[in-house]
Amino acid sequence: MLAPASVSDYRLLARRKLPRMLFDYLDGGAFSEHTLAENRRAFEQWCFRQRVMTDVSRIDTSATLLGTAAAMPLVMAPMGLAGMLARRGEVQAAAAGARANIPFCLSTVGICAVEEVARDVPDANRWFQLYVLKDRGFSEELLARAWQAGFKTLVFTVDLARLGLRYRDVRNGMNGNLPLPAKVRKVLDLLGHPRWLADVAIGGKPLTFGNLASVVLSGRKPEDFKAWVESQFDPSVTWNDLDWIRQHWPGKLVIKGIMEVEDARSALKVGADAVVVSNHGGRQLDGAPASLSMLPAIAAAIGEKCQVLVDGGVQTGQDVVRALCLGASGCLIGRPWGYALAAGGQAAVENLLTNIRYETELTLSLMGKTALDQLSRSDLLSLDELQALSRA
């Protein structure tokens, strides 16, 4: 490969570089991965209306996300274990986001702590992601640390009452239960990736979950992540329990994991400034519909009251344009920047984001548009509409 041009290219490079356990963690979904695949297929169901003979010499992709200007309507989604994809991976990714002038969201279970990201990337538009945890006191401590470190937007993830069953992770021993022959193969796989070992496992600072230092959680074993999740995620929480979030978070609040209109309205009632229409990238409830399929109804119901973001399957600037036509204020991407980070660190993530912005500009121009606020549902044709036109 001479130079990566697409997310698929970065995915291939990441697959070569990462140990199988880490690649499958990044790449995989729940159960049979039906919803994971549906997230991509949903974008393929929409065709653009091509417009010609319009002055498109200047294209504006800028957007305002939660009150802050961005170069495009895109957020780098939170990703657990990102610091195991490349050395101090969250810092590299945040720096790429800052260069691209888009927000970067740090996961609770990132390898780099909020303080490290803030110190090393002071100009980043920093968002912080938190799960629903049993230990409210620890959650309050995390929120205070994030706010003190300059993270002004909180993404509260509500779709992990229990961790989804991801067959790839089971096969790779993410739960720690492997027979001896499989353990030997796992060690050999790690040794078969010397560049990763030198860059991540051995080089740099010790691998620990930086935000969770007070609970003495090692980051050297990905199965530690699963064990912590199972011990701390709270399956009993309801909307009535979320008042404490607003009591302890003075900044913008985003509720992530919304897939129904009723839940979107409930998110508004607890004070959300935005929601993310999300099935967790197909990693939770396999068999759930694609996030994009649920976007129009949710945007129609609450879009005038708060911003509606969407994730799941977003890979290109064309995907961003489709989502905006269907009512989104912006998109989150996760796996794409993870692939790029593993493939080539900050430089590769910067290149990916540059490509996405160019793809957005190019798509707008070929649709006869010069700015994002000109987009609407009428700029797309569904496959049914296209078939009806062909019969007319």
Give the pair of three-digit tokens for residue 240. Answer: 């009535």
Report CA-CA distances (Å) from 286 to 29, 46, 163, 351: 8, 23, 12, 32
Q: What token pair was written down for 199?
A: 């860059």
The residue among 387, 364, 378, 379 whose CA lies nearest residue 60 is 364
In 28-178, which residue ranges form alpha helices assigned H by DSSP? Answer: 34-44, 89-100, 114-120, 136-148, 167-171
- Token pair belonging to 380: 């797309």
Told to judge if 193 belongs to the known catalytic residues of this protein, a careful annotator would answer no
Q: Which residues contact 201 (CB under 8 A, 6 or more apart)?
A: 190, 207, 220
- Structure token digits, residue 382: 């569904």
**In the Cβ-directed half-sphere of 364, how many Cα atoms lie within 13 Å?**
28
Return phi, psi of residue 282, to 5°.
Answer: 75, 20
Catalogue the E-assigned strands of the chain: 46-48, 63-65, 68-70, 74-76, 104-106, 126-131, 153-157, 252-258, 274-277, 307-310, 330-333, 380-382
Taking every pair of Cα atoms in the chain, the longest distance, rounded to a whole number of angstroms, is 67
List residues with catalytic annotation.
Answer: 280
